[in-house]
């Protein structure tokens, strides 16, 4: 199974492609897509789409795990995150992927073990689970890794349950 | 000037292509794009994108006037509207259009003359301004017409001011 985790944002979008092979997690590639601050929101969303499609076409993941938009105190941020997440969801569906959404709390619960984990804890746990020498520098890339791991954990668990139940 | 007005939504997106030719407004085409309720949000956003691109490629507008996302009491609706608006903005930018956003209040103020106009008043005024025999049936299509008219009104006014100032 090859999963792309996507943490969408208008300014910075984290992505991470992770394989599960014989029960082991293997990082294929991760990083951030940044858009040009001097351009309009519409142009930046088009840039984000182009960048995501490049990653998807290069790595051909079969599943996307996208951060579920949540509404915080800042309506402006929530709006642009919603717009960026729309771009990510449509691009993944167009590429034929199955798409799953997870809330930040679900991801932290699955990857770190508790839903209120700090960014630094997520970065450290991602580095440990993916056997990286150093944690991803960008918290957005680390969050994307955590999204992919969360999906693989859950789908692995579901498969184990199915097999145990015969 | 050819403008496409877009009133984005995950279920129903209104669109309207309107020309201004020698100071007269001419409707080129309007309607709604509906997505399949049985499909996932990601698939529906991809459907919306494909439908919008069809309209854009057919009519080649130079400018897009998109409803500005606003946050209402219903966070779920606000989220899906934000995602759909992201799709519309990126598609317009990719097609090389200038993109403008207007709030519902700005649109009603510009088209009907007061910001608290009802849907029915918008439908009637759109029919009158575009010299339609009947108002657009769908309120979403009427809102898209009003967005295009709002942009043409404002840009016409700005041009007149520039010319008057010499």
Read off the pLDDT of residues B92-104 as tens digits, 9 standing for 90 and up. 999 999 999 999 9
Nearest to A147 by CA among A114, A109, A118, A94: A109
Q: What is the pLDDT of residues B28-72, one digit of tens each?
A: 999 999 999 999 999 999 999 999 999 999 999 999 999 997 766
Catalytic residue list of A:
7, 67, 140
Nearest to B90 among A42, A75, A99 (CB): A42
Prediction ipTM score: 0.89
Question: What is the rounded average pLDDT of the residues A76-105?
Answer: 94
A83 interaction partners in chain B (CB closer than 8 Å): 69, 82-83, 85-86, 89
Question: What is the rounded average pLDDT of the residues A88-98?
Answer: 98
| Bridging pattern class, strands A98-102 and B2-7 | unpaired
Is residue B158 very low, low, confident or very high in pLDDT (cuts 50, 70, 90)? confident
Q: In which element (H, E) is residue B19 found?
A: strand B12-21
The Cα–Cα gap between A88 and A12 comes to 13
Report the first-to-last Cα separation within chain A, whole angstroms: 22
Question: What is the rounded average pLDDT of the residues A43-53?
Answer: 98
Question: How does A154-163 read in b/e, with b if 16+ C-beta sit within 10 Å?
Answer: ebeeeeeeee
| Bridging pattern class, strands B12-21 and B2-7 | antiparallel
Q: Is 0.95 surpassed by the pTM of this model? A: no
């Amino acid at each position: 199974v090859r999963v792309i985790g996507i943490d969408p944002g208008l300014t910075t979008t984290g992505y991470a492609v992770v394989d599960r092979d014989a029960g082991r997690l293997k990082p294929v590639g991760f990083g951030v897509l940044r858009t040009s601050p001097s351009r309009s929101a519409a142009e930046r969303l088009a840039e984000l789409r182009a960048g995501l499609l490049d990653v998807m076409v290069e790595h051909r993941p079969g599943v996307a795990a996208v951060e579920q938009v949540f509404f915080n105190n800042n309506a402006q941020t929530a709006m642009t995150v919603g717009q960026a997440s729309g771009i990510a969801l449509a691009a993944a569906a167009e590429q034929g992927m199955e798409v799953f959404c997870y809330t930040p709390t679900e991801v932290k619960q699955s990857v770190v073990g508790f839903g209120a984990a700090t960014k630094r804890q997520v970065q450290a746990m991602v580095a440990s689970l993916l056997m990286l020498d150093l944690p991803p520098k960008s918290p957005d890339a680390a969050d994307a890794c955590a999204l992919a791991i969360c999906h693989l954990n859950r789908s692995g668990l579901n498969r184990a349950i199915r097999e145990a139940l015969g």
